[in-house]
Structure 1
Amino acid sequence: MSTSWAQRIRDCAFSPVYQQQVLKVKNATISRQIFEDSIRHYIQNKKNRGGRTAEKIIRIPVVVHVIHNNPDSLTIGGRGNANISVEQIESQIRVLNEDYRRKEGTNGYNTNAVGADMEIEFYLANRDPNGNATTGITRRYRNKSIYSIDTDLETVSATSYWPSDRYLNIWVLPDIYSYLGYGQFPASTSVPGLSSYFQDYAHTDGIFVAHQYFGSTGDLADQSYALGRTVTHEIGHWLGLIHTWGDEYCGTDYCDDTPPTESANSTRFCNDRYSNCVSGQTTRNMIENYLDYSPDACMNVFTQDQKDRVRAVLELSPRRKQLVNANNSLEETSTLQLKVYSNPIQNKILYFDATFQGLHSVKYQLTNTQGYTLFHSEANNQPSSSYSIPVGQLTPGTYILTFATESEKASHRIAVP
Structure 2
Amino acid sequence: MKIFFFLTSSLLCATIIAQNQNVKFCSQWEMQQKYFEENPGLQQQILQNQQELEQHTQQFIQNKRGASGCYQYVIPVVFHILHDNGGENLTEETIKDAIKQLNIDFQLRNEDTADVVADFIPILGNSEIEFRLAQKDPNGNATDGMIRYETQETYSAGDNIKPGKQWPRSMYLNIYTAINIGGAAGYTYLPGSTSSGNDAILVLYNYVGLNKRTLTHEIGHWLNLSHCWGGTNDPALASNCNSDDNVGDTPNTIGWQVCNLGGESCGSLDNVQNYMEYSFCSNMFTKGQATRMQAAINSSTGSRSNLWKSSNLIATGVNDLELAEFSSSTIIACKGEDVYFEDESKYGQCNWNWTFDGGSPSSSNDRYPVVKYYTPGIYDVSLTVDNNSISQSKTKSSYILVIDPSEGYAPFTEGFENGSLPNNNWLIYNPDGDSKAWMHTSDAAYTGTSSAKMNNINNTPGNLDELLCGGFDFTSMASIALSFKVAYAQRDAADNDILRLYVSKDCGATWVIRWAKTGSSLATVPVQFPVFTPASQSEWQEYSINITSTLLSENFLFKFEFESDGGNNLYLDDINIEGVWNSKPVLQSPTDGVVGQADDVILDWKAVGAIDLYEWQLDVSNQFNTGSLQTGTTNFISTDPNNPDTEFQTSNLTYSQTYYWRVRTTASANTSLWSDIWSFTVSETGVGIGGLNVQSSRFNLFPNPSDGIFEVKLAPSASTSQKGEFRVLVYNVLGEQIHHQIITSANRLIDISSHPKGIYHVLIISGDTAVSGKIILQ
Do 2:249 and 2:286's aligned partners in 1 also have CA atoms closer than 8 Å? yes
Distance in 1 between residues matched to 2:150 and 2:274, nearest whole Å? 35
* Correspondence for 2:94 among 83, 88, 102: 88
The reply to whether residue 283 of structure 1 matches residue 272 of structure 2 is: no
Task: Verify the 8 A CA contact 2:186 2:201 in the aligned structure 1.
Answer: yes
For structure 1, which runs of at least 5 residues remain unmatched after alignment?
71-79, 188-196, 217-226, 277-281, 331-350, 363-378, 386-401, 409-417
Q: Where is the helix percentage greater, Structure 1 or Structure 2?
A: 1
**Shift of residue 176, structure 1, vs aligned partner:** 2.1
1:254 maps to which of 229, 233, 246: 246
SS for the counterpart of 2:141 is: coil
- 1:356: how far off? 8.8
Q: Which moved more, 1:116-125 or 1:33-42?
A: 33-42
Would the alpha carbon gap of residues 98 and 109 (structure 1) be closer, same or farther in structure 2, given more than 3 Å must change? Answer: farther
What secondary structure, in the 3-state scheme, does the structure 2 residue paired with 1:83 have? coil
Task: Tell me how far apart the structure 1 counterparts of residues 318 and 28 of structure 2 sit (CA, whole Å).
Answer: 41
2:83 corresponds in structure 1 to: 68
Partner SS for 1:283: coil
Q: What is the CA–CA distance in structure 2 between the aligned matches of 1:253 and 1:12, rounded to whole Å?
A: 17
User: Counterparts of 2:312 and 2:140 in 1: how far apart (Å)?
Assistant: 16
Aligned to 1:321: 305
Pairs within 5 Å for 1:331-410? 354-355=320-321, 360=325, 382-384=346-348, 406-407=394-395
Give, as a single letter, the amino acid of the residue that structure 2 aligns with 1:134: T
Q: 1:125 to 1:92 in 2, by over 3 A?
A: same
What is the TM-score with the length of structure 1 in the denominator?
0.64
Measured after TM superposition, the shift of residue 162 of structure 1 is: 1.5
Q: Aligned residue for 2:122?
A: 113
1:219-245 Cα offsets, whole Å, 9 max, x none, are xxxxxxxx2200000011111111111
Q: What is the alpha-carbon distance in structure 1 between the residues aligned to residue 32 and residue 325 of structure 2?
A: 37
Q: Secondary structure at the match of 2:268?
A: strand
Aligned equivalent of 1:293: 278
- Residue 11 of structure 1 deviates from its aligned partner by 1.2
Q: Which moved more, 1:82-91 or 1:53-62?
A: 53-62
**Aligned-pair distance for 1:16?**
4.8
Asked if 2 retains the 8 angstrom alpha-carbon contact of 1:22 and 1:29, the reply is no
1:98 maps to 104
Kept in 1, the 8 Å contact 2:82–2:153? The answer is no
Task: Give the whole-Å Cα distance in 2 for the aligned partners of 1:317 and 1:16.
Answer: 28
Structure 2 CA distance for aligned equivalents of residues 108 and 158 of structure 1: 43
1:29 aligns with 2:29: no
1:12 aligned onto 2:43:
no
Work out the CA distance in 2 between the residues paired with 1:95 and 1:303: 18
Distance (Å, rounded) in 2 between the aligned partners of 1:203 and 1:173? 18
Distance in 2, matches of 1:204 and 1:287, equals: 31
Structure number, greater radius of gyration: 2
1:266 aligns with 2:257: yes
C-alpha distance in structure 2 between counterparts of 1:172 and 1:360, whole Å: 28
- After superposition, the C-alpha distances for 1:325-376 in whole angstroms (9 at most, x for unaligned) are 156767xxxxxxxxxxxxxxxxxxxx9974499x9569xxxxxxxxxxxxxx
SS in 1 for 2:130: strand
d(CA) in 1 for partners of 2:162, 2:311:
22
Alignment pair present for 1:168 and 2:173: yes
How large is the RMSD of aligned CA atoms in angstroms? 3.4
Q: 1:235 aligns with which of 209, 219, 226?
A: 219
Does 2:173 match 1:181? no
Counterpart in the other structure of 1:156: 161
1:9-62 alpha-carbon deviations (Å, 9 max, x no partner):
661345554455566324233442333223212322x0xxxx544445111111
CA deviation string 1:241-298 (max 9, x = no partner) = 11111134232111010110113x224x45543212xxxxx12221111111122xx1
CA contact (8 A) 2:310 2:319 kept: no
Instruction: Give the drift of 1:160.
Output: 2.2
Task: Summarize the Cα distance change of 1:284–1:19 in structure 2 as closer, same or farther, 3 Å threshold.
Answer: farther
Query: Across the two proteins, how many residue pairs are aligned to each other?
Result: 304
Superposed CA deviations along residues 86-114 of structure 1, whole A, max 9, x for unmatched, are: 11111111100110011154669957111
Structure 2 counterpart of 1:262, which letter?
A: I
Shift of the 361–108 alpha-carbon distance from structure 1 to 2, 3 Å rule, reads: farther
Instruction: Give the distance between the partners of 2:130 and 2:177, measured in 1 at CA.
Output: 20
What does residue 309 of structure 1 align with?
292
Q: CA deviation at 1:6?
A: 2.3
Does structure 1 conserve the Cα–Cα contact (< 8 Å) formed by 2:318 and 2:348? Answer: no
Which structure exhibits the higher relative contact order, with contacts defined as CA atoms closer than 8 Å and separated by 6 or more residues?
Answer: 1
For 1:109 and 1:383, the matched residues in 2 are separated by 32
Pair 85,26 (structure 1): closer, same or farther in 2 beyond 3 Å: closer
Query: How do 1:133-148 and structure 2 match up within 5 A?
Result: 133-147=142-156
Q: Is this contact kept in 2: 1:95–1:215, CA < 8 A? A: yes
1:302 is aligned with what amino acid?
F
Say which SS state the counterpart of residue 258 (structure 1) adopts: coil
- Change over 3 Å in CA distance of 1:262–1:381 after alignment to 2: farther
1:403 Cα deviation after fit? 8.9
Any conservation in 2 of the 1:161–1:169 contact (CA below 8 Å)?
Answer: yes
Flag the structure with higher strand content. Answer: 2
CA distance in 1, matches of 2:230, 2:345: 34
Q: Tell me how far 1:68 sits from its aligned partner.
A: 0.8
CA contact (8 A) 1:61 1:327 kept: no
After superposition, the Cα gap between the structure-2 partners of 1:138 and 1:84, relative to the gap in structure 1 and judged at 3 Å, is: same
Instruction: Render the CA deviation track for 1:385-405: whole Å, top value 9, x for unaligned.
Output: 9xxxxxxxxxxxxxxxx9955
SS of 2:290's equivalent? helix
Query: Is the Cα contact below 8 Å between 1:181 and 1:234 reproduced in 2?
Result: yes
* Mapped contact 2:134–2:318 kept (Cα < 8 A): no
Identity among equivalent positions (%) equals 30
